[in-house]
Amino acid sequence: MTKKQRNRRKARRQQSVKHAQTAARHDREGAIKRRLRARERVILPAGREWLAVEAYPLSGSRCARALTAAGLPVFEAREKVREQRDGRPPRVAMVPVMRRVLFVGLRGWSDMRLIEECRHVWQVFAVTPEGLDWVHREQFRQGLLDADIWGDRAVPFIEPGPMQEFADHVCGYKRWDRLTETSHVVTDNEVLALLYGAGSRVRVTGGPFASFPGVVESHDPNTDLYTVGVSVFGRSTLVPCEEGQLTAA
């Protein structure tokens, strides 16, 4: 074997190792994203029909609080997302999936007035001459007056069953199976267990303790951080680490 052939074989081996490391990193990142999905089921109040409303810009939270204070249940689809700003420690935040869009539970036609009176509501999903579309709150108010006069109460309410099904899918409680074209409840095995359990030997790959070996002591589900015991000058030091900063030793 010539020197040129040996160099080519060595380059192919190095490339294979690099590809394997990249694939392993992508697998870890995908696993982290899957585990950040919400697993708790959101139970919506029974016996209510639901209407979609949109809040004014930068008023989504205020609109939800105002409607809740008026006695109307509000569902806002949110998902868990890891955030890190201005060099601060990372945190897991609940971020709205449909920004400023709220689903309001109504017991009857009289509850429509509570939506019309909420000053934070910008638009309401309603029936227009052109079909279903968003209408401004003032137009919605006029539509309520016309409905009371003429008795034509055509509103695109969402029934309790489909609304609960929608909430289950948005919050990650259920998943759609394309093969069987049916939905099923997501199990713990599908969500994925922790990549590193207590007692697992790992190596830190990021931060001030990069390249230090250690042992996983615990995991905090609220911050999604591992506590790793790193040996520094013969003493064990507890270090908080993200999952992306660890690799199996």
Can you list the domains of the chain with their CATH numbers? 49-190 (3.30.70), 194-249 (2.30.30.30)
Instruction: Kindly state the average pLDDT of the residues 16-32.
Output: 68
As a whole number, the mean pLDDT across the chain is 77
Stretch 214-231: mean pLDDT: 83
Cα-to-chain-centroid distance, residue 228: 27
Q: How confident is the model at residue 192 (pLDDT cuts 50, 70, 90)?
A: very low
Mean pLDDT across the stretch 181-193? 52
pLDDT band at 177 (very low <50, low <70, confident <90, very high): low
Report pLDDT for 188: 46
pTM for the whole structure: 0.55
Nearest to 101 by CA among 129, 148, 67: 67
Residue 189 predicted with pLDDT over 50: no
Residues 235, 240, 245, 246: what is their CA dihedral angle, to the nearest 10 degrees?
Answer: 60
Residue 198 or residue 119, greater confidence: 119
CA distances from 84 to 53, 81, 89, 224 (A): 30, 10, 6, 13
Say if residue 126's pLDDT is above 70: yes
Mean pLDDT of 24-50: 68
- Confidence class for position 243, pLDDT limits 50, 70, 90: confident
Report d(CA 224, CA 218) in Å as an integer. Answer: 11
Residues 104, 155: Cα–Cα separation, whole Å:
13
Q: Token pair of 26, please?
A: 């992508």
Please state, in angstroms and rounded to a whole number, the distance separating the CA atoms of residues 172 and 40.
8
Share of the chain above pLDDT 70, in %: 72
Is pLDDT of 226 > 80?
A: yes
In the prediction, which pLDDT does 244 show?
Answer: 74
- How confident is the model at residue 35, as a pLDDT? 55
Q: In this predicted structure, what is the pLDDT of residue 102?
A: 93
